[in-house]
Amino acid sequence: MSTVMHVRCPHELPEETYRQVLEMLAELSPVVQALPPTAALVELKGALRYHGTDARRLGESLRVRTLSRLGVDVRIGVGPSITVAATASAQVPEPGGVLAVEPDQVAAWLGPLPVDALHGIGPRQAEALRDYGIHCVGLLAAVPPAAVQRLLGGRAGRTAADRARGIDPRPVVPRALPATATVSRTFSRHAIDGAEVRAALLELVVGLGRLLRRRGQAARALTLTLTFVGDGGWERTRRLTEPSAHDDDLRLIAYQLMDAAGLQRGRLTALALKGEDLVGADQVVEQLSLDDAREARLAVEAAVDRVRDRFGPDVIGPAAVFRHAS
């Protein structure tokens, strides 16, 4: 029996409306996992017995309610696992509808789909698979797992091979909309744009990245807030290409935001960097990386995190931060 529901709301849905959709999902089942900014998972195993209906009808009922109460149409996929349900919801054409896949239908339904339609397969992974003639999910399922691991890497390959066969033991974990994560720096004297401010921003990036990784979260967007002498301020938000908690990715967006501020001789009193639209790290699609240097930096980042956890956050960090530490 299909027991997992994946719900996709329209893109750019206001957060308040998204929260109202989550409240409606909680009326169906106590096990709701928010996947901001516009999606959610629902475990239906107990809910089906309580409501006395099947998963397809429950999805159709939800769609009627979101339309009538909120004016929001949703795309709903239902399946025996998170992968199948999320893949199904992506196959529902906009503006909305319900697609339910029963356990005995999984192999036949997944098989003809393009390989990049399988939930969790990113563009680079799909490209690598297609280069080796693996164009559909059925072919991916037929390839020995060891061969997929050689193509995509150990863990990513094992995961892709399993999910192509409909194997996904992950449970739906109750999770409300996550809070934001903010780090800030106040200057002991008025600072102007330059090496000192850039070093302070880098320090915030490192602090935010470590905070997110310790909480098991990743940011979809960053907001930079500058406070000037006289209580003047500047604030902008920019989205990341993919959710991340890695220093490299956060630094790129933070520097873009600082450049966008166009500071000349502005006298700053404080900086704040906020990670927004947070998602659980387990929800981030791991893209195949062809950048050996990036992979090496990520390995170093993990090692540095272990050192900081053992000896304290200030024991190691970028040289620029230590040079300009006040």
Q: How confident is the model at residue 43 (pLDDT cuts 50, 70, 90)?
A: very high
Higher pLDDT residue, 1 or 181?
181
Cα–Cα distance for residue pair 44/54, rounded to 1 Å: 9
**Going by C-beta distance under 8 Å and a sequence separation of 6 or more, which residues neighbour residue 246?**
209, 298, 301
> How many whole angstroms separate alpha carbon 177 and alpha carbon 64?
23
Q: Which two tokens stand for residue 86?
A: 């999320």
Q: Looking at residue 326, what is its pLDDT? A: 47
**Neighbouring residues of 60: CB distance < 8 A, sequence distance ≥ 6:** 98
Q: What percent of the chain has pLDDT over 90?
A: 41
pLDDT in tens, 193-243: 577 788 889 999 998 998 888 888 899 899 999 888 765 688 899 999 889
- pLDDT at residue 307 greater than cutoff 90: no
Three-state SS sequence of the chain: CCCEEEEECCCCCCHHHHHHHHHHHHHHCCCEEEECCCEEEEECHHHHHHHCCCHHHHHHHHHHHHHHHHCCCCEEEEECCHHHHHHHHHHCCCCCEEEECCHHHHHHHHCCCEHHHCCCCCHHHHHHHHHCCCCEHHHHHHCCHHHHHHHHCHHHHHHHHHHHCCCCCCCCCCECCCCCEEEEEEEEEEEECCHHHHHHHHHHHHHHHHHHHHHCEEEEEEEEEEEECCCCEEEEEEEEEEEECCHHHHHHHHHHHHHHHCCCCCEEEEEEEEEECCEEHHHCCCCCCCCHHHHHHHHHHHHHHHHHHHHCCCCCCCHHHHHCCC
Q: Is the pLDDT of residue 244 over 50?
A: yes
Residue type at position 253: I
Q: Is the pTM of this model over 0.95?
A: no
**pLDDT for 290:** 57
Tokens found for residue 1: 């029996």
Residue 319's pLDDT is 59
User: What's the Cα-to-Cα distance from 286 to each of 75, 119, 156, 247, 282, rounded to whole Å?
Assistant: 24, 11, 7, 16, 9
User: In this predicted structure, which of 46-55, 121-130, 142-151, 254-263 has the lowest mean pLDDT?
Assistant: 46-55
The C-alpha atoms of residue 71 and residue 63 are separated, in whole angstroms, by 10
pLDDT above 70 (res 48): yes
- pLDDT at 173 (0 to 100): 87
> At 84, which amino acid appears?
V
Rounded mean pLDDT of the chain? 85
Instruction: List, for residues 124-162, the tens digit of each pLDDT value.
Output: 888 989 998 999 999 999 999 999 988 888 888 899 999
Tokens linked to 99: 């697609």
Summarize the confidence of residues 175-192 as an average pLDDT: 73
Residue with tokens 């893109």: 11
CA distance 181 to 274: 6
The C-alpha atoms of residue 170 and residue 127 are separated, in whole angstroms, by 26
pLDDT, tens only, 82-110: 999 999 999 999 999 999 999 999 999 99
Q: What is the structure's pLDDT at 265?
A: 56
